[in-house]
Structure 1
Amino acid sequence: MSGAYDVIVLDAESNGLAGQAFAFAAIACDAAGEMAAVTYRCPIVGPVDPWVAENVLPVIEDVEVNCENYAELCAALRQTWADWGGEVKRSRMLTHIAWPVEARLLLDAFPGRHVWKGPFPLNDVANTLTDRGFDSTSVDRYLEQQGLGKPVGNPHNPLYDVRATERAYYHLRTGRSRP
């Protein structure tokens, strides 16, 4: 689905906190809610970080490897941003705890002079959680504390994570749960 959306939410999984991303999901939302979703994954290069092997790989077994390599993963991110009107509309890109995983992926996807075509400013829901007196490290905890439903799936699956981030963000902005 293509179009120009108000908010694009991004989550990536990487091979260790400072490692290279190997999967990302993004959703495009407007006032009505989620309008489009994508998930991309490439093979992991090098030894797999033990934490990733234990906590991420089991919950993304069903996420197909649909990119041949990291360069193709970055190209998929650029194309998604373009297809969804991010550069033209200057859509708000939202993440939860963008540094270092999503920030590195975005810098690799929009290198050098192409940085101007990427999402900026990058909005991080962690800052809003902090400003409102909540734990900034967990959108799941926020959803639980507020009695809001969680998305289908599990944390560390990037599609689950973007949906949880968007639900928390929507509630923080409007005081309402997502329909």
Structure 2
Amino acid sequence: MILVHGTPSRSYTWRNVVPKLAARFRVYAFDLLGFGESERRDGLNVSIAAQASLLAGLVEFWRLEAPAIAGHDIGGGIALRAHLLGGIEFSRISLIDAVVLRPWITPTTRHVKAHLNVYRTMPSGSFEAIVGGHLRTASYRPMDEKAFAVYMEQWRGEIGQKIYLQKDAQ
């Protein structure tokens, strides 16, 4: 079973789910390109189309035949795109609050897209405060401080700011 996280998240999202699923499945939870522990550098294509292509490559690399997949948020859109446009077969698809119907961006993301140059030149401390506020609203339940720190870590500093804005721009 493959687990595909959403944004502004990372594979850490699945930390409580993996042990339960592992009783029935071989579980693959990975960080999307530009997120978490994956490659993170300026200029990455972190679009849904690029992520779907990478997912297809991982399915081939792992030599999986029609695995089950669960996708949360953009992870759902990535899974569907890999299946419908990339020809990757899945035995089951579970979509959780999936980004599949427009408009799917949040008001915060819409604002960022409309004012990218402002956010690109914003001091990192100010940017991190805005992203932190957005991150706290991205969870149904209040997020504990440890989880907040793990999720926020990937968006700190110059490279975190650039990748966060790239994902919103694409």
Q: Give TM-score scaled by structure 1 length.
A: 0.36
**Higher-strand-fraction structure:** 1
Q: Provide TM-score, normalisation by structure 2.
A: 0.37
Higher fraction of helix? 2
